[in-house]
Structure 1
Amino acid sequence: MNIKQLQSFLVLCDERHYGRAANRLFITQPTLSQQIKQLETSLKTILFRRKGRNIELTKAGAILQQHAEKIMLALKNAENDLLPYLHQQRDRILLGVSGSHLALPVFGQFTRLHPEISLNVKELSTEQTVKHIVANTLEIGIVYQTVIPAQLSATVLFEDEIIAAVPVNHPLAQETRLSLEQLNDQPLIVLNETLLLRNVINSELNKRKVIPNIICELDNHYSCLEYAQAQIGIALITRSVCRSSAPKNVRLMSLSVPAFFHSVMLVHNNELLLDEPMLCLLSQIKHFYSHDAQPTA
């Protein structure tokens, strides 16, 4: 028994005449007769009996009619429920970020617009994210500026400032602005050496012959900020970490390098499937960061 047979069966129930039913179904009468015969064979029962020039349902046929109508209604309801997902080619988007805070501004809005799409965010180093996009195990990434392979497309979103989160009980918290030289031998909390921004920080410290007293190396920006808020030491973080909420028990201070910024980029494979949900997400990311005013010290 299959859907096509049930459709033919219900039309024949309605017409009670093979010729008229075949015309409605746009098939020949022998083809319709064969479909009904196959249905009766599969059910091992007789569904119709002859009555003059017309036909009538047997008791078994009447029972099947009730069930067939319910089946066809259920199928129609299923089709209607699936209409919002017409032509949908994905059920998730894989996004790699060099800090979960970089995806936070667009996450809620995107999931409201596309509740059927799971936005799967993986927090990885810039290098790891780029490698995953090249390998097609991630689709897009928000990363700090680095060398991008030729098969990837990159768009600069904004310039992220590297700042110091200074515990309020630290003497340097009274300053209006810090130089890197003032951090010499100060207790510093920094990202671990596998992360791109740590190399940027190390490079600037080395240029100014600053000897850092690194007391803690952590895997993400939030953890560095939390340690500073606990009055453990001075954390070197990005200002974008503090975009969503103001941190407590620390002063956020710019570093006179004279400028200590690093670009944040949106990257994806040139062969990326640009369906409607993906275009929506890319547009939201670009729109947010192009209109977002970065906080100042």
Structure 2
Amino acid sequence: MELRHLRYFQAVAEERHFGRAADRLHMAQPPLSQQIRRLEEELGVTLLRRSTRKVELTAAGDAYLGRVRGILAAVDEAGEEAHRIDAGLEGRLVVGCVGSATYSLLPALARALREELPGVDFAFRGEMLVPDLADALRSGVIDLALLRPPLDDAALSLRLLRRERLIVALPEGHRLASRERVRLADLEQEELVVHAGRGRSVMYDAVVQLCRGAGFEPRVRHEVAETSTLVTFVAAGLGVALVPEPVAALGVAGATYRPLVGRHARVDLAAATRADDDAAALARTLEVLEAQVAAGAR
């Protein structure tokens, strides 16, 4: 038995006429009749009562028709689903983000993805550190990471999204809050709140390198894993922080922000994927992501 036999039977059963069914199937009537006979012989039941004037379904044939319709509909739906997945219009995709991207990019990106790819089931994980994002990518827990390079791993692919200026987060009323701009040297005596160190955060390494480049060793008072916690600590007066400019969108009461003097005080934001992931839904997601970044730049 093949699917074509089921389609032949469905056409005859619905037309109640071999000639009309043959026309519908774009085939001659004799081979159609022969195939229906073979189907009945294989099943061992009579599906159709034939006369010179009409064709009628037996009780077994009527029951069989209901099942055949369900089978053929499922086969057609499976084919359509496969085409949608192949075109990147359906599937499931998990996006992970570093802290600043969670607040500055993720909200607009999530809205755009719902509009552009409504058939794709998206899930999001925010406030992740770069090593955790890389591990999640490799293990397949997430499919796309918005993170900060460098990321030295041949199994992962990176594409730069944008360069972000660093700014200074200060408690309201801080002595530096009255200035229009802050120099790195102004932070030499300040206690800093930074992202987790010991290789767990790219931002930690960036802050340390900037301070050392300005001629002093940073005085780290608190290390935190989440950007929201970092800004909350600053607002509480527990220290100051160097953060990417989009963090200012977080809007924590008690914290204020000032530009940092220096052209080199910047960090990159990149999209990371598994190098061998060629899923069409991922490719479409990256297109939407890059369009959102470009719109934000404009």
Q: State the TM-score, normalizing by the size of structure 2.
A: 0.74
- Report the alpha carbon displacement of residue 146 of structure 1 after superposing the two structures with TM: 1.1
* Cα RMSD, aligned residues only: 4.0
Gaps of 5+ in 2: none
Q: 1:116 aligns with which of 97, 110, 119?
A: 119
Aligned ranges 1:57-72 → 2 under 5 Å: 57=56, 60-61=59-60, 63-64=62-63, 67=66, 71=70
* Letter matched to residue 186 of structure 1: E
Aligned ranges 1:99-110 → 2 under 5 Å: 99=99, 100-101=102-103, 102-110=105-113
- Report the alpha carbon displacement of residue 67 of structure 1 after superposing the two structures with TM: 3.7
Structure possessing the higher relative contact order (Cα contacts under 8 Å, 6 or more residues apart): 2
Asked if the contact 1:6–1:68 (Cα under 8 Å) also holds between the matched residues in 2, the reply is: no
Aligned ranges 1:142-161 → 2 under 5 Å: 142-149=146-153, 152-161=156-165
* Letter matched to residue 205 of structure 1: C
Gaps of 5+ in 1: none
Asked if the contact 2:160–2:271 (Cα under 8 Å) also holds between the matched residues in 1, the reply is: yes
Asked if the contact 1:48–1:55 (Cα under 8 Å) also holds between the matched residues in 2, the reply is: no
Asked if the contact 2:244–2:267 (Cα under 8 Å) also holds between the matched residues in 1, the reply is: no
Relative to structure 1, the CA distance from residue 278 to residue 112 in structure 2 (aligned partners, 3 Å threshold; closer, same or farther) is same
Relative to structure 1, the CA distance from residue 293 to residue 229 in structure 2 (aligned partners, 3 Å threshold; closer, same or farther) is farther
Relative to structure 1, the CA distance from residue 19 to residue 61 in structure 2 (aligned partners, 3 Å threshold; closer, same or farther) is farther
* Letter matched to residue 264 of structure 1: L
Q: Which residue of 1 aligns with 2:97?
A: 97
Structure 1: how far apart are the matches of 2:71 and 2:194? 63
- Report the alpha carbon displacement of residue 59 of structure 1 after superposing the two structures with TM: 5.5
Q: Which residue of 2 aligns with 1:31?
A: 35
Q: 1:225 aligns with which of 217, 228, 231?
A: 231
What SS does the corresponding residue of 1:253 show, helix, strand or coil?
strand
Q: Which residue of 1 aligns with 2:210?
A: 204
- Report the alpha carbon displacement of residue 97 of structure 1 after superposing the two structures with TM: 2.9
Structure 1 stretch 19-28 or stretch 283-292: which is displaced more? 19-28
Q: Deviations over 1:25-57 (max 9, x none)?
A: 54453332020233454xxxx444454x46653
Relative to structure 1, the CA distance from residue 164 to residue 83 in structure 2 (aligned partners, 3 Å threshold; closer, same or farther) is same
- Report the alpha carbon displacement of residue 201 of structure 1 after superposing the two structures with TM: 0.6
Structure 2: how far apart are the matches of 1:63 and 1:22? 20
Asked if the contact 2:194–2:242 (Cα under 8 Å) also holds between the matched residues in 1, the reply is: yes
Structure 1 stretch 116-125 or stretch 72-81: which is displaced more? 72-81
What SS does the corresponding residue of 1:30 show, helix, strand or coil?
helix
* Letter matched to residue 106 of structure 1: L
* Letter matched to residue 30 of structure 1: Q
What SS does the corresponding residue of 1:115 show, helix, strand or coil?
coil
Structure 2: how far apart are the matches of 1:109 and 1:55? 57
Structure 2: how far apart are the matches of 1:71 and 1:270? 40
* Letter matched to residue 115 of structure 1: P
Q: Which residue of 1 aligns with 2:253?
A: 248
What SS does the corresponding residue of 2:42 show, helix, strand or coil?
helix
- Report the alpha carbon displacement of residue 14 of structure 1 after superposing the two structures with TM: 5.1
Structure 1 stretch 149-158 or stretch 111-120: which is displaced more? 149-158
Q: State the TM-score, normalizing by the size of structure 1.
A: 0.74
What SS does the corresponding residue of 1:155 show, helix, strand or coil?
strand
Q: Which residue of 1 aligns with 2:129?
A: 125
Number of aligned residue pairs: give it: 287
Q: Which residue of 2 aligns with 1:178?
A: 182
- Report the alpha carbon displacement of residue 18 of structure 1 after superposing the two structures with TM: 6.2
What SS does the corresponding residue of 1:263 show, helix, strand or coil?
strand
Aligned ranges 1:79-94 → 2 under 5 Å: 85=84, 87-88=86-87, 91-94=91-94
